[in-house]
Amino acid sequence: MSNTDLKPKTKAKIKVERPKLHKVILVNDDYTPREFVVSVLKAEFRMTEDQAYKVMLTAHQRGVCVVGVFTKDVAETKATRATDAGRAKGYPLLFTTEPEE
Protein backbone atom coordinates (compact mmCIF):
# COMPACT_ATOMS: atom_id res chain seq x y z
CA MET A 1 0.00 0.00 0.00
CA SER A 2 1.29 3.43 -0.91
CA ASN A 3 2.15 5.65 1.97
CA THR A 4 1.84 9.00 0.24
CA ASP A 5 -1.45 10.06 1.73
CA LEU A 6 -0.37 10.59 5.30
CA LYS A 7 -2.20 13.16 7.28
CA PRO A 8 -0.22 16.31 7.91
CA LYS A 9 1.41 16.16 11.30
CA THR A 10 0.77 19.80 11.93
CA LYS A 11 -2.44 21.68 11.62
CA ALA A 12 -2.52 25.30 10.61
CA LYS A 13 -3.73 27.19 13.61
CA ILE A 14 -5.48 30.44 12.92
CA LYS A 15 -4.99 32.73 15.84
CA VAL A 16 -7.62 35.40 16.14
CA GLU A 17 -6.98 37.95 18.82
CA ARG A 18 -10.00 39.66 20.23
CA PRO A 19 -9.51 43.41 19.94
CA LYS A 20 -8.73 44.90 23.31
CA LEU A 21 -11.56 46.92 24.79
CA HIS A 22 -10.98 50.33 26.26
CA LYS A 23 -12.57 51.90 29.30
CA VAL A 24 -13.92 55.42 29.27
CA ILE A 25 -13.26 57.03 32.64
CA LEU A 26 -14.99 60.07 34.08
CA VAL A 27 -12.67 62.24 36.19
CA ASN A 28 -13.99 64.43 39.00
CA ASP A 29 -13.34 68.16 39.22
CA ASP A 30 -14.51 70.95 41.52
CA TYR A 31 -16.20 73.16 38.93
CA THR A 32 -18.46 71.26 36.54
CA PRO A 33 -22.06 71.27 37.80
CA ARG A 34 -23.44 67.86 38.70
CA GLU A 35 -26.46 68.28 36.43
CA PHE A 36 -24.21 69.08 33.50
CA VAL A 37 -22.16 65.91 34.05
CA VAL A 38 -25.40 63.92 34.16
CA SER A 39 -26.65 65.52 30.92
CA VAL A 40 -23.39 64.71 29.10
CA LEU A 41 -23.48 61.09 30.31
CA LYS A 42 -27.06 60.75 29.08
CA ALA A 43 -26.37 62.34 25.69
CA GLU A 44 -23.03 60.75 24.86
CA PHE A 45 -23.34 57.37 26.58
CA ARG A 46 -27.07 56.76 26.22
CA MET A 47 -27.59 56.39 29.95
CA THR A 48 -30.81 56.83 31.83
CA GLU A 49 -31.05 59.62 34.42
CA ASP A 50 -30.53 57.03 37.19
CA GLN A 51 -27.48 55.43 35.61
CA ALA A 52 -25.94 58.81 34.80
CA TYR A 53 -26.56 60.13 38.30
CA LYS A 54 -24.91 57.08 39.89
CA VAL A 55 -21.83 57.34 37.65
CA MET A 56 -21.53 61.09 38.31
CA LEU A 57 -21.84 60.54 42.07
CA THR A 58 -19.22 57.77 42.08
CA ALA A 59 -16.74 60.02 40.25
CA HIS A 60 -17.61 62.87 42.60
CA GLN A 61 -16.98 60.72 45.70
CA ARG A 62 -14.07 58.55 44.54
CA GLY A 63 -12.33 60.74 41.99
CA VAL A 64 -13.01 58.57 38.95
CA CYS A 65 -15.67 56.21 37.60
CA VAL A 66 -15.70 53.83 34.65
CA VAL A 67 -18.45 54.99 32.32
CA GLY A 68 -18.33 52.09 29.88
CA VAL A 69 -16.18 49.75 27.81
CA PHE A 70 -15.88 50.04 24.03
CA THR A 71 -13.59 49.30 21.11
CA LYS A 72 -10.61 51.67 21.07
CA ASP A 73 -12.03 53.94 18.35
CA VAL A 74 -15.44 54.26 19.94
CA ALA A 75 -13.98 54.86 23.42
CA GLU A 76 -11.69 57.62 22.15
CA THR A 77 -14.41 59.29 20.10
CA LYS A 78 -16.89 59.28 22.99
CA ALA A 79 -14.31 60.54 25.49
CA THR A 80 -13.30 63.38 23.15
CA ARG A 81 -16.88 64.40 22.37
CA ALA A 82 -17.89 64.33 26.05
CA THR A 83 -14.81 66.33 27.10
CA ASP A 84 -15.46 68.85 24.30
CA ALA A 85 -19.07 69.28 25.45
CA GLY A 86 -17.73 70.49 28.81
CA ARG A 87 -15.06 72.67 27.25
CA ALA A 88 -17.69 74.36 25.07
CA LYS A 89 -19.33 75.54 28.30
CA GLY A 90 -16.03 76.50 29.90
CA TYR A 91 -15.94 73.50 32.26
CA PRO A 92 -12.84 71.40 32.96
CA LEU A 93 -14.88 68.18 32.67
CA LEU A 94 -12.57 65.33 31.62
CA PHE A 95 -13.11 61.88 30.17
CA THR A 96 -10.07 59.68 29.58
CA THR A 97 -9.60 56.19 28.10
CA GLU A 98 -7.44 53.24 29.07
CA PRO A 99 -7.08 49.72 27.69
CA GLU A 100 -8.60 46.89 29.69
CA GLU A 101 -6.17 44.37 31.12
Contact residues toward ligand TYC (CB under 6 A) are 26-30, 32-34, 37, 56, 59-60, 93
For residue 17, give Cα distances in angstroms to 27, 70, 101: 30, 16, 14
Closest CB to ligand TYC among residues 77, 96: 96
Query: Do residues 95 and 67 make contact, with C-beta atoms less than 8 angstroms apart?
Result: yes
Whole-number minimum distance, CB 68 to ligand TYC, in Å? 14
Residue 63 or residue 99: which is nearer to ligand TYC going by CB?
63
Supply the minimum distance, in Å, between the C-beta of residue 87 and ligand TYC.
13
Handedness of CA 78, 84, 90, 96 (dihedral sign): positive
